[in-house]
Chain A
Amino acid sequence: MKKHHKMKTGIGDKIFVVCNTIFLTAFVVITLYPVLNTVALSLNDGVDAVRGGIHLIPRMFTLKNYQTVLNQKNIITGAYITVARTVLGTVLALITNALLAYVVSRKKFVFRSQLSLFWVITMYVNGGMIPTLILYRNLGLTNSFWVYIIPGMIGAFNMLVMRTYMEGLPDGLEESAQIDGAGDFRIFVSIISPLCKPVYATVALFVAVAQWNSWFDAMLYNRMASEYTTLQYELMKLLNSVMQQGGTANPGSTAQAAVTPMTVRAAATVVTMLPIICLYPFLQRYFVTGMTIGSVKE
């Protein structure tokens, strides 16, 4: 087969392969370089880094930036809150979305199509930023940790991904369990859920990444409550200080003369993205399935 292929390869195909290789190599370089550059900056002396010219290897190696980051109280608080919201938010979102998807995927259920429509509408129509803010204020969700967990818990997209998967399961399993006298809740827990592990993993991944990366909710709802700050929001404040100072060597406090906003931000960035970079390559199978199911509509 391969030999056959080679024989037929014309000059046009050879040019194609060369161009394609160049294109994809450039793609990889453009994707990876900025990330690796940030790692190099985070390990470099702050004042020295302002001179520029640092690419993939630090010029004046130091761990001071990381020390500074890990000594900042708000960053530590932010890390705790971010981990807490990611874990709790993912677990709760998984349970509620799975249950909703289960209810909606029961073919015999009398209000099946109405409930489904009720949720699909929420994908297209929403109240907008200000009415939502006022609602959360009235519900006492602002200046509280729960604003990260409760409002976004159930989402139509995640529900649809799970529903599509559940509808693809054979009906026979459920029927035989029903004959054995199992109720709907038992069927959900002991028949359907074990079979849905792949799609649960997918949705858990989507929710966890969204929770980890979220910053706007911390800014909009918990601006006044610094005890509920998140890692990303703290990172945003660092970014702002870099942009305002334009990267010039202007260390705020003389006690830490070797660090600048630029390198401290780089270190905070690495701390924030490290868990994700370490985990995502192993979860590829799951998000590829999820994206493929999610795009097949209705």
Chain B
Amino acid sequence: MKAKRISWKELKNQKFLLICTACFVVYGIIFYYLPLGGWIMAFQNYKTKDGFFDSQWVGFEKFKFLFSDATFLRVIRNTLAMGVLNLVCTFVMAIVFAILLNEVRLAIGKKFVQTVSYLPHFLSWIIVTGILHDALSSSGIINELLVKLGILDTPINFFAHKGYFWPIVAFANVWKETGWNAIVYLAAITSIDPSLYEAATIDGAGRWAKIKNITLPGIRPTIMILLIMNIGNVLNAGFEVQYLLGNGLVKSVSETIDIYTLTWGVSQNDFSLGTAAGIFKSVVAIILIVAANQFAKKTGEQRLF
């Protein structure tokens, strides 16, 4: 990088590495960098028959349309709200689960709970939403329990009420990923110096005190770095569940940016508008991750770059 002289001999010796690099760069340019060139569609009225070169240029018109479209503004709200709700819920649950599981002394019990906890991560969203649909249907277990406990008189259709949609999506994420996300925290807890716990025990500290004063501070760097990595993904957390569980009745709260892109870009064939919505998402994601990183830098926490 820094004006280091590269001799021909060196290059010749590294022939194999250089050939591989060339292949990997070509592959990367085609599949990861070339789509970025497609962003020019957002500034055109792209028609398949005209291609990139002959389509009419429209400047920022597509973006103007987006931000004057009430649906798009609602879609941004939905994406952000569900993204933040999912992030908070899955984050807190994974940490709580890891800490509590770590407190289990019975080795077999711990192993069993942990093995069970990974299971949902390996199931596709199709399966998870199907299972969730069964559990919440009018003849499903949730309605049955609520009626038996006298909380409800008659079963309700959870998927027909707007108020339930966001909590259902958050629950689905927690159900699927808690055990998986806890892996990292459990590893971090294992690396805490055991002598700290021993010293605390001698001082007469109870389990709560040890969790609060040793475990939590011990995994703090891990929590921070994962938080930063996930903040950039807030807008990405909104497609599969919403697409699979959404229906006409809850459309106003279930539609996310990705679904909007799919509807306009693919079903309506307005590639330019779909691309513009996608660009908006990418730009916001980059701003979020850089901001989170800056914030971590200021507060002296671990950071990504």
Give A contacts to B, CB under 8 Å.
5, 8, 10, 12-13, 16-17, 20, 23-24, 27-28, 30-35, 37-38, 41, 50-53, 55, 99-100, 103, 106, 108-111, 113-115, 118-119, 122, 124-135, 139, 150-151, 153-154, 183-185, 209, 212-216, 220, 232, 235-236, 239, 242-243, 246-247, 262, 265-266, 269, 272-273, 276-277, 280-281, 284, 287-288, 291-292, 295, 297-298
Contacts and interface: CB of A to CB of B under 8 A. Distances in A.
Given A106-B17, A269-B131, A30 B187 contact: no
Nearest to A19: B100
A132 B35 contact: yes
Nearest to B111: A284
A32 B32 CA distance: 39
Contacts of B39: 127-128, 131
Interface of B: 1, 4, 6, 10-11, 14, 16-18, 20-21, 24-25, 27-28, 30-39, 41, 97, 100-101, 103-104, 109, 112-113, 115-120, 122-127, 129-135, 137-141, 144, 159, 175, 178-180, 183-184, 187, 201, 204, 206-208, 222, 225-226, 229, 232, 240, 244, 247, 258, 261-262, 265-266, 271, 274-275, 278-279, 281-282, 285-286, 289, 304-305
A100 B178 CA distance: 32
A126 B119 contact: no
A127 B39 CA distance: 7
Contact of B265 (A53, A133, A151): A133
B206 to A, nearest CB: 5
Contacts of A214: 124
Contact of B35 (A28, A34, A127): A127
Nearest to B155: A52
A109 B123 contact: no
26 contacts: A13-B207, A28-B112, A37-B135, A51-B139, A52-B140, A55-B141, A103-B21, A122-B33, A127-B32, A127-B35, A127-B36, A127-B39, A128-B261, A130-B271, A131-B35, A131-B39, A133-B266, A134-B38, A135-B30, A139-B30, A235-B124, A239-B126, A280-B118, A287-B118, A292-B187, A295-B225
A281 B208 CA distance: 32
B282 A128 contact: yes
Contacts of B138: 52, 246-247
Nearest to B93: A27
A144 to B, nearest CB: 15
Given A133-B266, A239-B244, A115 B24 contact: yes
Contacts of A109: 14, 17
A106 B131 CA distance: 47
Contacts of B279: 128
A231 to B, nearest CB: 9
A127 B31 CA distance: 9
A32 B118 CA distance: 11
B36 A33 contact: no
B37 A131 contact: yes
- Dominant SS at the A interface? helix
A100 B25 CA distance: 10
A20 B104 contact: yes
B229 to A, nearest CB: 8
Given A20-B100, A27-B97, A295-B222, A110 B183 contact: no
Contacts of A37: 131, 134-135, 141
A114 B1 CA distance: 8
B100 A131 contact: no
> What are the 3 closest A-B residue pairs judged by CB atoms, nearest first?
A127-B35, A131-B38, A52-B139
A125 B286 contact: yes
Contact of A110 (B14, B25, B38): B14
Contact of A34 (B115, B134, B261): B134
Contact of A125 (B175, B201, B240, B282): B282
B38 A28 contact: no
Contacts of A32: 116, 119
B124 A34 contact: no
A173 to B, nearest CB: 17
B101 A184 contact: no
Given A27-B97, A28-B112, A127-B36, 13 more contacts: A10-B206, A20-B103, A34-B135, A110-B4, A114-B1, A128-B279, A133-B265, A133-B266, A183-B16, A235-B130, A266-B134, A276-B123, A295-B225
Contacts of A246: 137-138
B278 A131 contact: yes
A55 B222 CA distance: 40
A130 B274 contact: yes
